[in-house]
Structure 1
């Protein structure tokens, strides 16, 4: 799983804002001011992609893939981390999980914020 591919995939999602948090040494992706994806490292510096996930699905993924763990330094119920060097997690699944995370966060935004994001794309 390549960081550049993940970065490009996240930036194509409507209304995504990217920033880099120096203190965490983490690339972060937001929608409506709320984070939905982060590329950073664990305690040993091993690169991980952290994504929001519906709790039952998060548990199921952790049981199915060795490289998917409870969200590193995040709420373990709602976030999963995927080791970037994972060979057992196909890239198409990673893309689906990014989309799932994005949609979860987007759905929790106010209707006004959702409409503003949707209008941004129409005016481009």
Structure 2
């Protein structure tokens, strides 16, 4: 998947916005203000395509053991975040989409009931 395909997939989810809260190079996708995916545009330009996604701690470890191109989240809480290095191979588009979905779902599950209700009404 290229960056535009990933961006489009992330933005097509309910309640998602994109922002640059840290710097002009770090694209962050949020659900009602809560981060669920990050992309370093600078690294993409340098040929190191990667995306940070949230995961359940056990699942995050399982993914790291199963795929060499998935490692502990770069500059993130290593327990809850993974970085997918897309140029290293081994990650098909269906898996990438599934991991984006998982990250989205994790963030939604962590929201208050009120936030979840607001999200459903969008």
Q: Using structure 2 for the length normalisation, give the TM-score.
A: 0.89
Q: In the alignment, what sits opposite 2:85?
A: 83
Larger relative contact order (Cα-Cα within 8 Å, sequence gap ≥ 6): 1
Q: Deviations over 1:71-109 (max 9, x none)?
A: 000000100001131321111000000000000000111
Corresponding residue pairs, total: 119
- 1:9 paired to 2:9: yes
Deviation at 1:117, TM superposition (A): 1.3
8 Å Cα contact 1:32-1:106 kept in structure 2? no
How do 1:17-56 residues align onto structure 2 when only pairs under 5 Å count? 17-21=17-21, 23=23, 25-40=25-40, 41=43, 46-56=48-58
Q: Which moved more, 1:74-83 or 1:33-42?
A: 33-42
**Matches of 1:113 and 1:21, distance apart in 2:** 21
**4+ residue stretches of structure 1 with deviation over 6 A?**
none
How many angstroms apart in 2 are the aligned matches of 1:93 and 1:45? Answer: 21
Partners of 2:84 and 2:71 in 1: how far apart?
Answer: 6
Unaligned runs of at least 5 residues, structure 2: none
Q: Is the 8 A contact 1:27 1:38 kept in 2?
A: yes
Deviation at 1:46, TM superposition (A): 2.8
The two structures, once aligned, show a CA RMSD in angstroms of 1.8
**Secondary structure of 1:23's aligned partner:** coil
- Gapped regions of structure 1 (runs ≥ 5): none
